[in-house]
Amino acid sequence: MIPDNLLYAKSHEWCSIDGDVATVGITHFAQEQLGDLTFVELPGVGDTFEAGAEMGSVESVKAASEIYAPVSGEVIEVNESLEDAPEKVNEAPYGDGWMLKFRIKAAPEGLLDAKGYAAVVESESH
Amino acid sequence: MKTIFDTSVAGREGCWPCEGKAEEAYIPSELLRQGDIGLPSASELDVVRHFTRLSQRNFGVDGNFYPLGSCTMKYNPKFTEVVAAMPGFTRLHPVLPQLQGAGGQCQGALEVMYETEKLLSEITGMHAFTLHPMAGAHGELTGVMLMAAYHKDRGNKKTKIIVPDSAHGTNPASAAIAGYTVVSVESVDGIVDPAALAEVLDDEVAGMMMTCPNTLGLFERNLPEIVRMLRKVDALLYYDGANLNAVMGKMRVGDVGFDIVHLNLHKTFATPHGGGGPGSGPVGVCEKLEPFLPISRVVKLEDGQFFLDYDYPKSIGYVAPFYGNFGVVLKAYAYILRLGRAGLIRATENAVLSANYMRKRLEKHFEIPYNRICMHEFVASAAEQAKTGVRALDIAKALLDKGYHAPTVYFPLIVPESIMIEPTETENKETLDQFIDALIEIAEMAITDPAAVQAAPRTLPVSRLDETRAARAMELTDDL
């Protein structure tokens, strides 16, 4: 469950880049580790972040966890539907469970490809 | 089970020897209730049976083993309740020590507070204590505020507090509430590594909050080096006393170099907790931090009299109404005196022995990621069992069927499928063995019949609760 066409942060966020717009969410592995999500807290449109900065949090029946911006830029769209339906992140982390769209201000740095992220998952699952 | 409202039948009532009726003449008519009060009507026997049944469904350490890691659910000896119920204490009004000329009527209570502060200072090696904080997290916030007051007084510009990933979950919250940026430092082999600390340590670090032993039940062996590193940048070291049960009487945290410590009297010193309180989280400090302690402070005069002193210009002020949870402090005081030095040390030794005994007996049946001599608790993992679909949560639920409170699960976060077990010193070997046998049986069932473990609990008043729905569709009020 690590799509080849996405980029990944070690902190388990994914992003897909289309021109200067990056769509961001958390990975299948992240949602699996967290268990059923009960709450997703996201920033607002217009907020800006540097890559690696804390941009929100997710809560599950097990734990609360921060989510970090995988890219630097400005939030231009928020998946508002997650407020009432956090389960979308569990059901389709790379689809309906997307979280934010950023207008990126520079090419992403330090992100992993699918193979690199698979190694991170492998080392963390044991 | 029906609620008392479901069983209500109009006209039924109990009896009471005197007719207590409010003097309606003195109450303005617009304030008098119009209509029905909305309470159920039931006979006295109905009420007695209803609440007796409810109490029988309650789970507590008085009835069963409660191995809740990170919480020290030890047994609370009943003599402390007798002491706390003495009318000389219960009939005191808390404002008495502040009334002119009334201090003579509460010397005993003031002496208890004074002596408890002295005993806690002796046990921890700290210079002075405040008893005011009402719980552990309240103690943490008080401690971080003391940190801030110290740095402000010194003209230090500090913005960050370091918290290891093996610390108690409340630590980062307390630091953030006090306005600091929380910087996490990753454990190496289960404990704080000086090299990892060096990477995040700089002049802007106000302090570091440590739980020792940490939430993996491991002792922080690098403490001397950590203390040296923090002192170089004038950062303070905070001790979260949640796990003091493992080192009480063995290590004085002040001697090690901790500057601030909070204790959970409701854990280490055997006062009841769980279910939300009441707790007590006294905070001890080293000498240089004493001027900042909250007011009031109990002072002993030369003639042996005690009084409350409010004249501390550098104090962070009030952190609680009156003097904290006095009744809880009183129970802890009685507990310390009853056990004495030798008894406290024995309690610690037995707590550590119990945990290691369980760890050794369970290591063949559960993965134990940091499997070495532990302190008062240890963390097992259900990662092996998870391969057949039986998760830590399922094992916890299956334990309920066997009459045990579940251990802490999914904490600490650094161990996947974690099961955190703290037996405490108050359980005998037979109980420990029975619990271990139950866990082994569940581990075997996870292989032979995983579906049965996943279906637990079966024998309780309620079956498996839908925790997800409970969190997603919260209903916190009931329209009576």
Pairwise CB contact (< 8 Å): B416 & A61:
no
Chain B residue numbers with beta carbons less than 8 Å from the beta carbon of A87 are 468, 472
Q: What is the mean pLDDT of residues B268-276?
A: 82
Q: State the Cα–Cα distance between residues B9 and B11, nearest whole angstrom.
A: 6
Q: Which residue out of B170, B181, B384, B410 would a mutagenesis test of the A interface target, given it has the greatest number of A Cβ atoms within 10 Å? A: B410
Q: What is the DSSP letter of A112?
A: B
Q: State the Cα–Cα distance between residues A104 and A81, nearest whole angstrom.
A: 23
Q: Which of B439, B90, B74, B464 is nearest to B273 (CA)?
A: B74
DSSP per-residue codes, B267-324: HHT----SSS------EEE-GGGGGGSPSPEEEE-TTS-EEEE---TT----SSSTTS
Q: Is B295 exposed, middle or buried (0-12, 13-18, 19+ CB in 10 A)?
A: middle
Q: What is the mean pLDDT of residues B321-335?
A: 95
pTM across the whole model:
0.88
pLDDT (tens digit per residue) in B386-396: 999 999 999 99
Q: Cα–Cα distances in Å, from A115 out to A5, A9, A51, A107, B129? A: 11, 12, 21, 20, 55
Pairwise CB contact (< 8 Å): A39 & B468:
no
Q: Which of B407, B415, B413, B359 is nearest to B383 (CA)?
A: B415
The answer to whether residue B467 neighbours chain A at the CB level (below 8 Å) is yes
Contacts of B351 (CB under 8 A, 6+ apart): B74, B245, B246, B376, B423, B424, B425
Question: Looking at CA atoms only, how far is residue B66 from chain A in angstroms?
Answer: 20
Chain B residue numbers with beta carbons less than 8 Å from the beta carbon of A52 are none
For residue B23, pLDDT beyond 80: no
Nearest residue in chain B measured CA to CA from A36: B468
Chain B residue numbers with beta carbons less than 8 Å from the beta carbon of A33 are 416
Q: What is the DSSP letter of B217?
A: S
Q: Which of A39, A61, A125 faces B467 most closely, judged by CB atoms? A: A61
Asked whether the beta carbons of A79 and A67 are under 8 A apart, the reply is no
For residue B248, pLDDT beyond 80: yes
Question: Looking at CA atoms only, how far is residue B468 from chain A in angstroms?
Answer: 6
Question: Looking at CA atoms only, how far is residue A36 from chain B in angstroms?
Answer: 6
Q: State the Cα–Cα distance between residues B322 and B318, nearest whole angstrom.
A: 9
Nearest residue in chain A measured CA to CA from B381: A126
Q: What is the pLDDT confidence band of residue B470, given thresholds at 50, 70 and 90?
A: confident
Which residues on adjacent β-strands are paired with residue B241?
Answer: B263
The answer to whether residue A41 neighbours chain B at the CB level (below 8 Å) is no
Q: Which residue out of A37, A38, A126 would a mutagenesis test of the B interface target, given it has the greatest number of B Cβ atoms within 10 Å? A: A38
- CATH level 3 topology of A7-125: OB fold (Dihydrolipoamide Acetyltransferase, E2P) (2.40.50)
Chain B residue numbers with beta carbons less than 8 Å from the beta carbon of A59 are 471
Pairwise CB contact (< 8 Å): B468 & A36:
yes
Least confident span in A12-26, B56-70, B82-96, B270-284? B270-284
Q: Which of A33, A38, A62 faces B472 most closely, judged by CB atoms? A: A38
Pairwise CB contact (< 8 Å): A126 & B383:
yes
Pairwise CB contact (< 8 Å): A125 & B416:
yes
The answer to whether residue A3 neighbours chain B at the CB level (below 8 Å) is no
Least confident span in B3-7, B25-29, B128-132, B441-445? B25-29
Question: Looking at CA atoms only, how far is residue B415 from chain A in angstroms?
Answer: 9
Q: State the Cα–Cα distance between residues B75 and B427, nearest whole angstrom.
A: 8
pLDDT (tens digit per residue) in A49-82: 999 999 999 999 888 888 999 999 999 999 999 9
Q: Which of B145, B226, B134 is nearest to B178 (CA)?
A: B145
Q: Cα–Cα distances in Å, from B193 out to B61, B109, B165, B224? A: 37, 45, 11, 12
Q: What is the pLDDT confidence band of residue B155, given thresholds at 50, 70 and 90?
A: very high
What's the pLDDT at B359? 97
Q: State the Cα–Cα distance between residues B116 and B119, nearest whole angstrom.
A: 5
Pairwise CB contact (< 8 Å): A63 & B410:
yes
Pairwise CB contact (< 8 Å): A87 & B472:
yes
Chain B residue numbers with beta carbons less than 8 Å from the beta carbon of A126 are 383
Q: What is the DSSP letter of B78?
A: T
Pairwise CB contact (< 8 Å): A62 & B410:
yes
pLDDT (tens digit per residue) in A97-117: 999 999 998 888 899 999 999
Q: Which of A107, A47, A121 is nearest to A77 (CA)?
A: A47
Asked whether the beta carbons of B418 and B379 are under 8 A apart, the reply is yes
Interface ipTM > 0.85? no
Q: What is the DSSP letter of B77?
A: -
The token pair that represents A101 in the structure block: 């769209």
Chain A residue numbers with beta carbons less than 8 Å from the beta carbon of B468 are 36, 38, 61, 87
The answer to whether residue B410 neighbours chain A at the CB level (below 8 Å) is yes
Q: What is the mean pLDDT of residues B336-341?
A: 97
Please compute Rg for chain A using Cα positions.
13
Q: What is the pLDDT confidence band of residue B14, given thresholds at 50, 70 and 90?
A: confident
Pairwise CB contact (< 8 Å): A39 & B471:
yes
Chain A residue numbers with beta carbons less than 8 Å from the beta carbon of B392 are none
- Where are chain A's structural domains? 7-125
Chain A residue numbers with beta carbons less than 8 Å from the beta carbon of B383 are 126
The answer to whether residue B471 neighbours chain A at the CB level (below 8 Å) is yes
Q: State the Cα–Cα distance between residues A49 and A71, nearest whole angstrom.
A: 8
Q: State the Cα–Cα distance between residues B397 and B390, nearest whole angstrom.
A: 11
Please, what are the domains in chain B? Answer: 24-56 (no CATH), 79-338 (3.40.640.10), 349-470 (3.90.1150.10)
What's the pLDDT at B222? 96
The answer to whether residue A126 neighbours chain B at the CB level (below 8 Å) is yes
For residue B19, pLDDT beyond 80: no
Q: What is the mean pLDDT of residues A90-98?
A: 97
Q: State the Cα–Cα distance between residues B274 and B412, nearest whole angstrom.
A: 19
Q: Which residue out of B184, B467, B469, B474 would a mutagenesis test of the A interface target, given it has the greatest number of A Cβ atoms within 10 Å? A: B467
Q: State the Cα–Cα distance between residues B306 and B103, nearest whole angstrom.
A: 8
